[in-house]
Structure 1
Amino acid sequence: MKQLVLEILPAADPTFANFVVGQNREAVDVLQKASQPNTVTTKVIYLWGLPGCGKTHLLHAFALAFGSAYPKEAARLRYLPVDDGRTSHVLADDVETLDDAAQVGLFDAINQRALEPNATVVATGNVAPRDLSLRPELSSRLGSGLVFALQILSDTEKKQALNAHAASRGLALREEVASYLLRHARRDMASLIGILDALDQFSLETGREITLPLLKQMSQPELFEKGSH
């Protein structure tokens, strides 16, 4: 069978509205409250968990709540201020990757924000603060506020999320298609949503209904190679 390669449509901006909450309601509520202007909140919010749990999505959602985007180039710095004209926050993604100089910079930024009313530091990592291999003083600061261990969505919740996304595009997602995706595709929600968007595009281009045979025809190795079988 000929394999067709399609470009994945640009993903929607990560927002609180399109985050699939699952068991992470408390973390989402705290972040949404902290994103409101003139809100007195904890100085440090730390999110950690396995890849695909949504921590980076929530970090971007927090930034977008101020009409600002977490830029791609920030990946090189790993932390940056977000200023909405009233409050300057600091966002730090994947803190376990920070080199020594960046760790010192983030530590200083956290201390500076401690002096500013309503300023918040939101950071993410792959493990709890006490288990980070960072400068001890930085690990201590990151664990000084609210710490949330984000939970991966269950397969049932992922199916619900896929069905909701499909419905938002005017699609009815068949059970066999959703089940195949969860068995064979990359299991993080960004990849699953991307495949579904590409499948919708392919369906429109070919004039065919979204079915399992159609999905198998357009399957791209780079999206399916890391799925569980």
Structure 2
Amino acid sequence: MRQLTLDLQPAAPPSLENYVSGSNGEALTALAAWLAPDNREPLFFLWGESGAGKSHLLQACAATCSDARLDPQLASLPTSSGLWAVDHLEALADGGQVVLFNLINRLRASDGRLLLAARLPPRLLELREDLRTRLGSGLVYRLRSLSDEEKRAALAELARARGLELSPAVIDYLFARVPRDMRSLTQLLRAIDQFSLEHKRPISLPLLREVLQTSPPT
């Protein structure tokens, strides 16, 4: 029995181009404009529920990125950079809040910029008041998770870009059995494409069953 290990299908690096925007087109356009070299707005804040693509966009911006879930004190945040990014602000410890507050105060003098992300808008985060005020002074955009219909349409479009046609029955089968975040769906699509090419077989429900099945542990 052949096991297709999806971990062997590396995900494409996050970029603005491969972010599936759905109803987030305005936020994506605003972020692209903010990243322009002549933009002097120091702060750009993205908020929204898990799975909306906040981390994808932070990683896509070629910023010096820190994750407050992994480093709540922001101890590894570099002291010099043209573009910083801090993800998961809700996880900041007291010391990390001080570091971030001081960084924001330095931004205008250094012409630096800071991209931030959290589950909630600045005013609702459980952070020190002066930091919340600073965070809310920049551009603030909400990201919304894709609906299932938007994900289905996006998956079909990604397949067409590969020269594949996924029938509604195939998409229904996948959605009933695999994680529905776009990163997992995109990774799975590459695996299906590879399996189909290797075996010279069209994409069908029997082929999907083979792709998704796992062999017993050895």
Q: Normalising by the residue count of structure 2, what TM-score does the alignment of the two structures yield?
A: 0.84
Q: Note closer, same or farther for the CA distance 1:15–1:34 as it changes in structure 2 (3 Å cut).
A: same
Tell me by how many angstroms 1:178 deviates. Answer: 1.6
CA contact (8 A) 2:69 2:92 kept: no
Which structure: larger Rg?
2
1:109 is aligned to 103
Q: Note closer, same or farther for the CA distance 1:164–1:35 as it changes in structure 2 (3 Å cut).
A: same
User: Within 5 Å, which residues of 2 pair with 1:65-104?
Assistant: 70=65, 76-77=70-71, 80=77, 88-104=82-98
User: Within 5 Å, which residues of 2 pair with 1:1-229?
Assistant: 4-8=3-7, 9-40=9-40, 42-63=41-62, 70=65, 76-77=70-71, 80=77, 88-117=82-111, 119-219=112-212
SS of structure 2 residue aligned to 1:213: helix
Tell me by how many angstroms 1:162 deviates. Answer: 0.9
Identity of aligned residues (%): 40
CA contact (8 A) 1:89 1:113 kept: no
CA contact (8 A) 1:81 1:88 kept: no
Tell me by how many angstroms 1:91 deviates. Answer: 0.4
Unaligned runs of 5+ in 1: 222-229
What RMSD over aligned residues (CA atoms) do the two structures have, in Å? 2.6
Q: Normalising by the residue count of structure 1, what TM-score does the alignment of the two structures yield?
A: 0.80
CA contact (8 A) 1:43 1:120 kept: yes
CA contact (8 A) 1:45 1:145 kept: yes
Q: Note closer, same or farther for the CA distance 1:81–1:214 as it changes in structure 2 (3 Å cut).
A: farther
CA contact (8 A) 2:49 2:119 kept: yes
Q: Note closer, same or farther for the CA distance 1:174–1:81 as it changes in structure 2 (3 Å cut).
A: farther
Tell me by how many angstroms 1:220 deviates. Answer: 5.9
Unaligned runs of 5+ in 2: none
Tell me by how many angstroms 1:208 deviates. Answer: 2.2
Mapped partners of 1:96, 1:157: distance in 2: 28
